[in-house]
Chains A and B, each alone.
Chain A
Amino acid sequence: MLAFTRLQSVAVPLALDNVDTDQILPARFLAQKRELGYGPYCFRDLRYQADGAERPDFVLNQDPYRGAQVLIAGSNFGCGSSREGAVYALQDIGVRAVIAESFGDIFYQNALINGLLPIHLPAGQMQLLLAGLRDELGMTVEIDLAGQTVATSGGAAFDFPIDAFRKHCLLEGLDEIDFTINYIGQIEQYEAWRQPM
């Protein structure tokens, strides 16, 4: 997993609620092999017209948001399907962190496991962030995972919560399977005790 420590980037306002993983990566691209990259399909129907031309009104097609690494989303970002491809697709267009009021539970887990930092902030702070984005074109945010802070170029600063274990894994780029293999003895003991049907 890609480690995450500190990041400074232009922030992209994507202030829609309930952005689902079908929109982040439409189902029709899921049969494609992961190795080929999901970047071209990320937000496919929001980013491009049917003929492949860019939609000029979509924020990721506008300057200064092209290639930005932080999304500022609405509530319940990543709801719906458990497809981890939605996380890969965001990473493949360069997104490293998403800040939202809330996330779909499965998307949130998938993001952490893959090194995409999901940050949830309360509604009031989200409104301040979005107001900052309206006031300052190209506002940047600086994320410090160790300190659990987000600071904007507009001078606002917020603390964010994150699970201690997931934070540790992100900072170290630690793979969860490698971690668990250390506890195989406990798993064997459980299996011997329980004898599942």
Chain B
Amino acid sequence: MRYYARKLGFYLVALWAALTLNFFIPRLMPGNPVDTLLAKLAQRGGTVDPSARRSYELLLGTDTGEPLWRQYAAYLGNVLRGDLGVSVSAFPAQVTEVIGQSLPWTIVLVGIATLISFALGVTLGTLAGWRRGSWLDSLVPATTVLAAVPYFWLALILVLIFSSSLQWFPLFGGYDTYLPTGWNADFIGSAIYHGTLPALTIVISSVGGWLLGMRNMMVATGSEDYILTAHAKGLRDRRIMTRYAARNAVLPSFAGFAISLGFVVSGSIITEQVFSYPGIGSKLLQAVENSDYALMQGIFLVITVAVLAANLVVDLLYGFIDPRTRVTT
């Protein structure tokens, strides 16, 4: 029990540290929301009367003149109450509303892509590691090359081939905007159709890592005594591969997977840029470009909590699976 209490305590401290950083880091950035907004308005539509500055300062409430420590205290209090404030770039929408609108898209897209990538990488890695020296080994350099290619370039090339030239996939967007939004077959179908190519790019660029890790673990596990014993018992090769070797080899990959699930929330900013996908990554970019502190803090908070939660789950599961980690020395 003490083990779990200690873990939870540690995560609470980590959460507080992350919240504090979330508060201060955006404020260290140069610029302020009003000047950014004015510069933007001046570019788009030309006329910005000098009176506009005062007016927007008052509207956005950026000119409070409150000392930083008081803002910090108010911020911590608001976070505890689930009030993340008002977004400046989407004024007067609540940050929670902005995040709520975009988060599901990212979770589904990047989540499914990560899942597919992991499953595919581990399966292929198992086979490649088990039959090392066979043609499957050539997958390792092939996929790592794809992982090494700059992601935005790969994505742009795929857009060029499959969307612009062949027109198999839509060029942009997360769904067909002509369809009524909701849980109906047409809309979900269009969402899947729109998400396929972005998901494909993520899978292609990340499958290499899982494959390589799994293959190397399989090679190491393959030389263990219990594998030799299993062979000596006359078990079927297939059974040894899946039940004896892969099960042990997958453990480190699985820990990595749990952590990468936490990062799903932070989305894939470039994916969302290239495909004009309506996810959290594009919101984060919008927040940074507009000095929208509240939205930045909100998104960082969601990301932090997701990563910490994933880590916590892994930690707790490890304590359960491997009792040695619970022993205090």
- Do they bind each other? no
Residues of B at the A interface (CB closer than 8 Å) are: none
Instruction: Please report A residues at the B interface, Cβ cutoff 8 Å.
Output: none
